[in-house]
Structure formats: C-alpha cells, structure tokens
C-alpha cells in the first residue's frame, strides 16, 4: 500500500513538473505579445481622445486617480492635457484616459481596461457611453458623479452598473480638478 502511494505521488509530481515547464514556456512566448498589445491599446486610446491635437511627452504623476499626463497642443499653443486615470469599479480596477482643455473641461474619455460584469458594467466600453461626460467640468456643468446629475435617458443607461459609473465619474471629476490646479 505504501509503495502504491509513493508511486502515485511521484507520478503526480512528474506531471506537475512537466505542466509547470510547459506553462513557463508558453508565458515566455505570449507575455511580450500581450505587453505589446496592451501598449498599442493605450496608444490607440490616446490618439482617440486627443481630439486631433499633438500629444506631448508623458509625465508621471502618481497621485490619487491620476497616474500620468500628456500635454496637448495645436499650432504650437498648449490646449490641454490627456490624463491616465485609475479608479475602482464593481469588478476591480478601471483604467481610462481622458482629455481636458486648460480649464478642466472634459473633451473626450475612453475606458482602456476593466474587469466589469459582462452586459452590465461592460457597457462603459461601448461607443457613446462617455458622451455624458463630454463638456462637463465647469462650475455650471460639473462632472456628474451621481445618477441624479444625469438626464433621465443617461440615468437609465447606467442603471444596474452604478458602481462602474461612480468609479468612472469620480476619476473624471478628480482629473478635471487636477487640470484646474495646474
């Protein structure tokens, strides 16, 4: 009986060792491609929210919500900033990029990465979702941080995904305040 247990343990250990080597090899092959894909996804999002302006050099910020920033210019004049923002949604961390004019008004925003619930929080990835934030960030039109600040149609659109909406809106509002403080 002891011989059978030892033999089974050795076979299982061998299987685990082979599986570990195979998985390590797969990771070596796929990790660079995944990193390249993620970097390209961010570059594409930056171009999308730049509103056709020149994107300057990245500056790390590492403050609450704001990870980094890029200055935006047009015709040699500063026009605003793109901020890399992080927040928390229902499924975990939310990563987004948003452009602001020099007064902190949201010009465009895009969700880059999230772990939200399919069919509910994932709606934030849909085209048009961020439109409710564009043009906000002024004293007369603050960034909506609660559903009561939205129109009935927009409020219904975020129904069932309140935590996702709150995470995104707080990051965008903080980004607006950050740009105003520059």
What pLDDT shows up at residue 149? Answer: 74
What pLDDT shows up at residue 127? Answer: 78
Those residues of the chain that have pLDDT short of 70 are 116-117, 119-123, 147-148, 150-161
What pLDDT shows up at residue 80? Answer: 93
What pLDDT shows up at residue 153? Answer: 67
Specify the pTM: 0.76
What pLDDT shows up at residue 161? Answer: 65
* C-alpha triplet 136, 141, 46: angle, nearest 5°: 5
Radius of gyration for the alpha carbons in the chain, expressed in angstroms and rounded: 22
% pLDDT > 70, the chain = 87
CA distance 177 to 24: 44
131 conformational bin, left if phi > 0, alpha if psi -120 to 50, beta if neither: alpha
Q: Where are the domains of the chain?
A: 50-181
pLDDT in tens, 78-97: 899 999 999 988 888 888 99
Half-sphere exposure of 18 (CA within 13 A, CB side): 6
What pLDDT shows up at residue 156? Answer: 61
């Amino acid at each position: 009986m002891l011989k059978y247990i030892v033999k089974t343990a050795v076979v299982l250990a061998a299987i685990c060792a082979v599986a570990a080597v195979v998985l390590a090899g797969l990771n070596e092959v796929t990790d660079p491609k995944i990193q390249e894909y993620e970097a390209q996804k961010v570059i594409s999002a930056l171009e999308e929210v730049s509103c056709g302006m020149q994107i300057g050099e990245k500056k790390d910020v590492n403050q609450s919500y704001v990870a980094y920033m890029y200055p935006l210019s047009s015709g040699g004049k500063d026009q605003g900033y793109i901020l890399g923002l992080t927040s928390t949604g229902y499924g975990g961390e939310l990563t987004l990029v948003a452009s602001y004019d020099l007064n902190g008004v949201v010009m465009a925003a895009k969700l880059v990465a999230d772990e939200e619930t399919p069919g509910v929080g994932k709606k934030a990835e849909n085209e048009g979702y961020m439109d409710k934030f564009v043009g906000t960030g002024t004293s007369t039109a603050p960034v909506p941080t609660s559903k009561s600040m939205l129109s009935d149609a927009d409020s219904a659109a975020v129904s069932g995904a309140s935590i996702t909406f709150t995470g995104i809106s707080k990051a965008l509002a903080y980004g607006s305040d950050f740009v105003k403080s520059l």
